[in-house]
Structure 1
Amino acid sequence: MSKPHVFLVGPMGVGKSTIGRLLASELGLPFVDTDRVIEERTGADIPWIFDMEGEEGFRLRETNVLSDLCQMRAAVIATGGGIVTQEANIELMRNHGSVCYLRASLEQLAERTARDKKRPLLQVENPREKIAQILMEREPSYTSVANFTVNTDRHGPKAAVQEILQQLGRSRS
């Protein structure tokens, strides 16, 4: 297998971590969440990093973590929603694995993130509007980097995992 990793990309609240854990279990691979690795390495949570270093500082950390993970053994890697904002990250994912874009409707994303205070980009007066803006900006990158797309609106996490497994069978053969 020349591209061992499975990268999950998509907006915040789409289910990358939940689906990633289940998928890793099905594939017998370790699960890694890039945001958790950043927090472990810095000893600080994502909101604090955004406050202290801004989005630019956080994105640099994110690229460094992704680069390191690409050198490790095969894993299912859940990425932060903005990982596609950096061209270096897109190239890393394309070169080191299969990329699944997890997609959900604006309504679902707004509902799933409504009470989450740990998402720095949503600490604004109108989070739903912010999600819409982020989707509009990032959708082309999610689509272009992905080998395939799975819509999580219509699926529970287990059904999404089954669809990913089917897609991986097609994209890896």
Structure 2
Amino acid sequence: MPQNPSPNLRIDKALVLVGLMGTGKSTVGKRLAGRLHLPFVDADSEIERAAGLSITEIFDRFGEEQFRDGERRVIARLLDGRPKVIATGGGAFMQPDTRELILRKARAIWLDADLDVLTERVGRRDGSRPLLRNRDPREVLAELAAVRNPIYALAPIHVRSQPLPHEATVDSILKALAE
């Protein structure tokens, strides 16, 4: 049975989940927000709403550079000083300006997982991930992990996402926040 958050746990700024696709940032984020009685925001959904286009359409029409600029602006707007849980896209924390903003205005939490877990999870999704189009997901994830994990490690909180119910990851985050 999931534990309730510590009564002494005080969240005074946004909690921003970072990590590779498939770590469960959105799913875990929703559950974490529920447990903490905070709003949940998925940055990718906010980007799509602001642009009136899907992430894939933004990449196709404008390219990654323009997508990242819009992503940074949306994340800056979301980091308004009010506590909430924000799930970011896998590449958001890789952008120096976006990363600096998150580290300065929020508590960054790196959700990490084994390659097998990530490959299985991204395989459940349709073709909505631009970086996986026409490529072997395991190969792409291994390449991304090699480049991105050292940057994700700059997040002050590191939690492993296990092949367990998402509540186990939420419990791990709550424990890390209480420390």
Q: TM-score, normalised by structure 1?
A: 0.92
Partner of 1:68: 77
Q: Which amino acid aligns with 1:122?
A: L
Which consecutive residues of structure 2, in runs of 5 or more, have no partner in the other structure? 1-9
- The separation in 1 between residues aligned to 2:175 and 2:136, in whole angstroms, is 38
- The separation in 1 between residues aligned to 2:11 and 2:157, in whole angstroms, is 18
- List, as ranges, runs of 4+ consecutive aligned residues in structure 1 with deviation greater than 3 Å: none
- The separation in 2 between residues aligned to 1:67 and 1:49, in whole angstroms, is 19
Partner of 1:88: 97
Q: Which amino acid aligns with 1:37?
A: E
Following superposition, the deviation at residue 155 of structure 1 comes to 3.7
2:38 is the counterpart of 1:29: yes
Following superposition, the deviation at residue 125 of structure 1 comes to 2.9
Alignment of 1:56-135 (within 5 A): 56-116=65-125, 117-135=127-145
Following superposition, the deviation at residue 108 of structure 1 comes to 1.0
C-alpha contact 2:119 2:137 (8 A) present in aligned 1: yes
C-alpha contact 1:98 1:168 (8 A) present in aligned 2: no
What whole-Å deviation, never above 9, does each CA across 1:98-127 have from its counterpart, x for those lacking one?
111101111111111114210000002322
The structure with the largest helix share of the pair is 1
Q: TM-score, normalised by structure 2?
A: 0.89
C-alpha contact 1:98 1:147 (8 A) present in aligned 2: yes
Percent identity reads 41
C-alpha contact 2:13 2:81 (8 A) present in aligned 1: no
Q: What is the RMSD computed on CA atoms of the aligned residues?
A: 1.5
Equivalent in 148, 151, 167 of residue 160 of structure 2: 151
Partner of 1:49: 58
Partner of 2:147: 137
Aligned length: 169
Following superposition, the deviation at residue 154 of structure 1 comes to 4.8
- The separation in 2 between residues aligned to 1:68 and 1:142, in whole angstroms, is 22
